[in-house]
Chains A and B, each alone.
Chain A
Amino acid sequence: MAWIWLLLAGAGEVISVPLLKEWQGRRRPGWAAAAIAALALSFYALSQSLSYIPIGTAYAVWTGIGSVGAISSGILLYGESVNPLKLACMVLIVVGMVGLKLTS
Protein backbone atom coordinates (compact mmCIF):
# COMPACT_ATOMS: atom_id res chain seq x y z
CA MET A 1 0.00 0.00 0.00
CA ALA A 2 2.83 2.40 0.88
CA TRP A 3 4.31 1.92 -2.60
CA ILE A 4 0.92 2.65 -4.17
CA TRP A 5 0.82 5.94 -2.19
CA LEU A 6 4.33 6.67 -3.45
CA LEU A 7 3.35 5.99 -7.08
CA LEU A 8 0.30 8.22 -6.59
CA ALA A 9 2.56 10.96 -5.17
CA GLY A 10 4.76 10.69 -8.27
CA ALA A 11 1.71 10.77 -10.54
CA GLY A 12 0.43 13.99 -8.88
CA GLU A 13 3.81 15.62 -9.48
CA VAL A 14 3.86 14.48 -13.11
CA ILE A 15 0.32 15.68 -13.86
CA SER A 16 1.03 19.10 -12.35
CA VAL A 17 3.71 19.86 -14.99
CA PRO A 18 1.43 19.99 -18.09
CA LEU A 19 -1.31 21.63 -15.97
CA LEU A 20 1.06 24.44 -14.96
CA LYS A 21 2.18 24.70 -18.58
CA GLU A 22 -1.42 25.05 -19.78
CA TRP A 23 -2.02 27.65 -17.09
CA GLN A 24 1.00 29.60 -18.28
CA GLY A 25 -0.32 29.46 -21.83
CA ARG A 26 -3.98 30.28 -21.17
CA ARG A 27 -3.99 32.12 -17.84
CA ARG A 28 -7.29 30.57 -16.78
CA PRO A 29 -7.58 30.05 -13.00
CA GLY A 30 -9.06 26.57 -13.52
CA TRP A 31 -5.70 25.28 -14.74
CA ALA A 32 -3.89 26.75 -11.75
CA ALA A 33 -6.47 25.25 -9.37
CA ALA A 34 -6.08 21.83 -11.02
CA ALA A 35 -2.27 22.08 -10.78
CA ILE A 36 -2.41 23.05 -7.09
CA ALA A 37 -4.84 20.17 -6.43
CA ALA A 38 -2.43 17.75 -8.14
CA LEU A 39 0.51 19.05 -6.08
CA ALA A 40 -1.53 18.84 -2.85
CA LEU A 41 -2.48 15.25 -3.68
CA SER A 42 1.19 14.50 -4.35
CA PHE A 43 2.26 15.97 -0.99
CA TYR A 44 -0.47 14.11 0.91
CA ALA A 45 0.25 10.78 -0.81
CA LEU A 46 3.98 11.17 -0.15
CA SER A 47 3.27 11.78 3.56
CA GLN A 48 1.17 8.58 3.68
CA SER A 49 3.87 6.47 2.03
CA LEU A 50 6.36 7.50 4.73
CA SER A 51 4.69 5.29 7.34
CA TYR A 52 6.51 2.33 5.77
CA ILE A 53 9.07 3.66 3.31
CA PRO A 54 12.26 5.40 4.53
CA ILE A 55 12.36 9.08 3.55
CA GLY A 56 15.66 8.65 1.63
CA THR A 57 14.02 6.02 -0.58
CA ALA A 58 10.67 7.83 -0.90
CA TYR A 59 12.24 11.16 -1.89
CA ALA A 60 14.50 9.52 -4.50
CA VAL A 61 11.60 7.56 -6.06
CA TRP A 62 9.24 10.58 -5.95
CA THR A 63 11.78 12.81 -7.70
CA GLY A 64 12.61 9.99 -10.11
CA ILE A 65 8.98 9.59 -11.18
CA GLY A 66 8.70 13.39 -11.43
CA SER A 67 11.74 13.67 -13.73
CA VAL A 68 10.85 10.74 -15.98
CA GLY A 69 7.26 11.99 -16.17
CA ALA A 70 8.23 15.58 -16.95
CA ILE A 71 10.59 14.52 -19.74
CA SER A 72 8.03 12.00 -21.08
CA SER A 73 5.24 14.59 -21.12
CA GLY A 74 7.61 16.97 -22.91
CA ILE A 75 8.26 14.33 -25.56
CA LEU A 76 4.65 13.08 -25.88
CA LEU A 77 2.68 16.32 -25.49
CA TYR A 78 5.05 19.07 -26.62
CA GLY A 79 7.13 17.33 -29.28
CA GLU A 80 10.50 17.65 -27.54
CA SER A 81 13.39 15.64 -28.91
CA VAL A 82 14.33 12.10 -27.89
CA ASN A 83 18.02 11.31 -27.63
CA PRO A 84 19.95 8.24 -26.45
CA LEU A 85 21.27 9.97 -23.30
CA LYS A 86 17.71 10.91 -22.24
CA LEU A 87 16.52 7.34 -22.77
CA ALA A 88 19.52 5.92 -20.90
CA CYS A 89 18.82 8.22 -17.93
CA MET A 90 15.17 7.20 -17.87
CA VAL A 91 16.14 3.50 -17.92
CA LEU A 92 18.63 4.14 -15.09
CA ILE A 93 15.91 5.81 -12.99
CA VAL A 94 13.35 3.06 -13.60
CA VAL A 95 15.88 0.30 -12.84
CA GLY A 96 16.90 2.17 -9.67
CA MET A 97 13.28 2.44 -8.51
CA VAL A 98 12.47 -1.21 -9.21
CA GLY A 99 15.71 -2.23 -7.51
CA LEU A 100 14.83 -0.20 -4.40
CA LYS A 101 11.39 -1.77 -4.28
CA LEU A 102 12.73 -5.31 -4.68
CA THR A 103 15.53 -4.97 -2.12
CA SER A 104 13.52 -3.04 0.52
Chain B
Amino acid sequence: MKQTLQCPVSSTGTKAAWMVVIAGGLMDVVWAVLLDYSEGLTVLWPSVFALAAITVSYFLYVLSLKLLPAGTAYTVFTGIGTAGTGLIGILFLGEPAGGWRIFFIGMLLLGITRLKLASGGETVQPKGGELI
Protein backbone atom coordinates (compact mmCIF):
# COMPACT_ATOMS: atom_id res chain seq x y z
CA MET B 1 0.00 0.00 0.00
CA LYS B 2 3.06 2.22 0.33
CA GLN B 3 3.00 2.61 -3.46
CA THR B 4 -0.54 3.97 -3.42
CA LEU B 5 0.51 6.81 -1.15
CA GLN B 6 3.28 7.76 -3.56
CA CYS B 7 0.88 8.07 -6.46
CA PRO B 8 0.58 11.77 -7.31
CA VAL B 9 -3.10 12.04 -8.23
CA SER B 10 -5.95 14.06 -6.77
CA SER B 11 -8.58 12.41 -4.57
CA THR B 12 -11.16 12.58 -7.39
CA GLY B 13 -8.63 11.00 -9.73
CA THR B 14 -7.91 8.28 -7.18
CA LYS B 15 -11.60 7.47 -6.82
CA ALA B 16 -11.95 7.18 -10.61
CA ALA B 17 -8.81 5.03 -10.75
CA TRP B 18 -10.20 2.63 -8.16
CA MET B 19 -13.51 2.43 -10.01
CA VAL B 20 -11.63 1.53 -13.21
CA VAL B 21 -9.53 -1.17 -11.58
CA ILE B 22 -12.49 -2.66 -9.66
CA ALA B 23 -14.63 -2.66 -12.83
CA GLY B 24 -11.74 -4.37 -14.64
CA GLY B 25 -11.43 -7.06 -11.98
CA LEU B 26 -15.20 -7.68 -12.05
CA MET B 27 -15.04 -7.88 -15.86
CA ASP B 28 -12.47 -10.66 -15.43
CA VAL B 29 -15.01 -12.60 -13.36
CA VAL B 30 -17.67 -11.94 -16.02
CA TRP B 31 -15.62 -13.28 -18.93
CA ALA B 32 -14.44 -16.29 -16.94
CA VAL B 33 -18.02 -17.30 -16.09
CA LEU B 34 -19.14 -16.68 -19.71
CA LEU B 35 -16.23 -18.81 -20.93
CA ASP B 36 -17.48 -21.58 -18.66
CA TYR B 37 -20.95 -21.29 -20.24
CA SER B 38 -19.44 -21.32 -23.76
CA GLU B 39 -18.81 -25.11 -23.50
CA GLY B 40 -15.32 -24.84 -24.99
CA LEU B 41 -16.30 -21.97 -27.36
CA THR B 42 -18.98 -24.10 -29.03
CA VAL B 43 -22.00 -22.06 -27.86
CA LEU B 44 -22.16 -18.81 -29.85
CA TRP B 45 -23.35 -15.99 -27.56
CA PRO B 46 -21.45 -16.88 -24.39
CA SER B 47 -18.32 -17.20 -26.59
CA VAL B 48 -18.89 -13.81 -28.26
CA PHE B 49 -19.64 -12.03 -24.97
CA ALA B 50 -16.68 -13.73 -23.23
CA LEU B 51 -14.37 -12.45 -25.96
CA ALA B 52 -15.90 -8.96 -25.73
CA ALA B 53 -15.59 -8.97 -21.92
CA ILE B 54 -11.95 -10.11 -21.93
CA THR B 55 -11.16 -7.30 -24.38
CA VAL B 56 -12.89 -4.72 -22.16
CA SER B 57 -11.12 -6.18 -19.12
CA TYR B 58 -7.75 -5.90 -20.89
CA PHE B 59 -8.29 -2.24 -21.77
CA LEU B 60 -9.52 -1.40 -18.26
CA TYR B 61 -6.34 -2.99 -16.92
CA VAL B 62 -4.12 -0.98 -19.27
CA LEU B 63 -6.08 2.17 -18.34
CA SER B 64 -5.78 1.43 -14.60
CA LEU B 65 -1.99 1.20 -15.02
CA LYS B 66 -2.03 4.83 -16.12
CA LEU B 67 -3.91 5.79 -12.96
CA LEU B 68 -2.49 3.54 -10.24
CA PRO B 69 0.98 2.05 -9.58
CA ALA B 70 1.41 -1.25 -11.48
CA GLY B 71 1.75 -3.38 -8.33
CA THR B 72 -1.46 -2.01 -6.81
CA ALA B 73 -3.46 -2.29 -10.04
CA TYR B 74 -2.34 -5.87 -10.66
CA THR B 75 -3.01 -6.89 -7.06
CA VAL B 76 -6.58 -5.57 -7.05
CA PHE B 77 -7.27 -6.94 -10.52
CA THR B 78 -6.12 -10.50 -9.95
CA GLY B 79 -7.40 -10.50 -6.37
CA ILE B 80 -10.95 -9.68 -7.50
CA GLY B 81 -10.64 -12.13 -10.41
CA THR B 82 -9.39 -15.06 -8.33
CA ALA B 83 -11.62 -14.55 -5.30
CA GLY B 84 -14.61 -13.63 -7.51
CA THR B 85 -14.48 -16.64 -9.82
CA GLY B 86 -13.89 -18.92 -6.83
CA LEU B 87 -16.91 -17.52 -4.96
CA ILE B 88 -19.26 -17.46 -7.95
CA GLY B 89 -18.22 -21.00 -8.84
CA ILE B 90 -19.10 -22.23 -5.36
CA LEU B 91 -22.24 -20.13 -4.82
CA PHE B 92 -23.88 -20.36 -8.26
CA LEU B 93 -22.23 -23.04 -10.40
CA GLY B 94 -22.18 -25.89 -7.91
CA GLU B 95 -18.38 -26.14 -7.80
CA PRO B 96 -16.82 -28.06 -4.89
CA ALA B 97 -16.41 -26.13 -1.63
CA GLY B 98 -14.09 -28.60 0.11
CA GLY B 99 -11.59 -27.38 2.68
CA TRP B 100 -8.50 -28.24 0.64
CA ARG B 101 -9.80 -26.56 -2.50
CA ILE B 102 -10.50 -23.32 -0.63
CA PHE B 103 -7.16 -23.60 1.17
CA PHE B 104 -5.14 -23.97 -2.05
CA ILE B 105 -7.09 -21.29 -3.94
CA GLY B 106 -6.43 -19.02 -0.94
CA MET B 107 -2.74 -19.89 -1.14
CA LEU B 108 -2.69 -18.98 -4.85
CA LEU B 109 -4.59 -15.77 -4.13
CA LEU B 110 -2.02 -14.78 -1.52
CA GLY B 111 0.96 -15.62 -3.75
CA ILE B 112 -0.45 -13.91 -6.85
CA THR B 113 -1.47 -10.70 -5.10
CA ARG B 114 1.82 -10.40 -3.16
CA LEU B 115 4.05 -11.24 -6.13
CA LYS B 116 3.55 -8.03 -8.04
CA LEU B 117 3.91 -5.92 -4.91
CA ALA B 118 7.14 -7.80 -4.14
CA SER B 119 8.56 -6.71 -7.48
CA GLY B 120 8.06 -3.02 -6.69
CA GLY B 121 8.15 -0.57 -9.55
CA GLU B 122 9.83 -2.83 -12.08
CA THR B 123 8.74 -2.76 -15.66
CA VAL B 124 7.39 -6.18 -16.64
CA GLN B 125 3.62 -6.19 -16.26
CA PRO B 126 1.48 -9.18 -17.09
CA LYS B 127 -1.47 -8.76 -19.46
CA GLY B 128 0.41 -6.37 -21.70
CA GLY B 129 0.44 -3.40 -19.37
CA GLU B 130 3.81 -2.40 -20.80
CA LEU B 131 2.04 -1.11 -23.89
CA ILE B 132 1.45 2.25 -22.29
| A binding-site residues for B, Cβ under 8 Å | 13, 16-17, 20-21, 23-24, 35, 43-44, 46-48, 50-51, 54-61, 63-64, 66-71, 73-74, 78, 80-81, 83, 85-86, 89-93, 95-97, 99-100, 103-104
A97 to B121 CA separation, bound complex (whole angstroms): 26
Q: Assess whether A35 is in contact with B101, with CB atoms less than 8 Å apart.
A: no
Q: Assess whether A56 is in contact with B118, with CB atoms less than 8 Å apart.
A: no
Q: How distant is A9 from chain B, measured CB to nearest CB, in Å? A: 10
| B binding-site residues for A, Cβ under 8 Å | 28, 32-33, 35-36, 38-41, 47, 50-51, 54, 78, 81-82, 85-90, 93, 95-96, 98, 100-101, 103-112, 114-116, 118-119, 122-128, 130-131
A84 to B107 CA separation, bound complex (whole angstroms): 17
Q: Assess whether B78 is in contact with A85, with CB atoms less than 8 Å apart.
A: no
Q: Assess whether A95 is in contact with B82, with CB atoms less than 8 Å apart.
A: no
Q: Assess whether B131 is in contact with A24, with CB atoms less than 8 Å apart.
A: yes
Count of inter-chain pairs, beta carbons less than 8 A: 161
Q: Assess whether B119 is in contact with A80, with CB atoms less than 8 Å apart.
A: yes
17 A-B Cβ contacts within 8 A?
A: A16-B128, A20-B130, A21-B124, A55-B36, A55-B85, A58-B32, A59-B86, A60-B109, A63-B78, A64-B111, A67-B115, A71-B116, A89-B112, A89-B114, A91-B111, A92-B111, A104-B101
3 shortest A-B CB distances, which residue pairs?
A: A92-B111, A56-B89, A74-B124
Query: A67-B112, A93-B108 are contacts. A60–B38 as well, Cβ < 8 Å?
Result: no
Q: Assess whether A96 is in contact with B105, with CB atoms less than 8 Å apart.
A: yes
Q: Assess whether A96 is in contact with B108, with CB atoms less than 8 Å apart.
A: yes
Q: Assess whether B126 is in contact with A66, with CB atoms less than 8 Å apart.
A: yes
A22 to B120 CA separation, bound complex (whole angstroms): 22
A51 to B41 CA separation, bound complex (whole angstroms): 11
Q: Assess whether A100 is in contact with B101, with CB atoms less than 8 Å apart.
A: yes
Q: Assess whether B111 is in contact with A50, with CB atoms less than 8 Å apart.
A: no
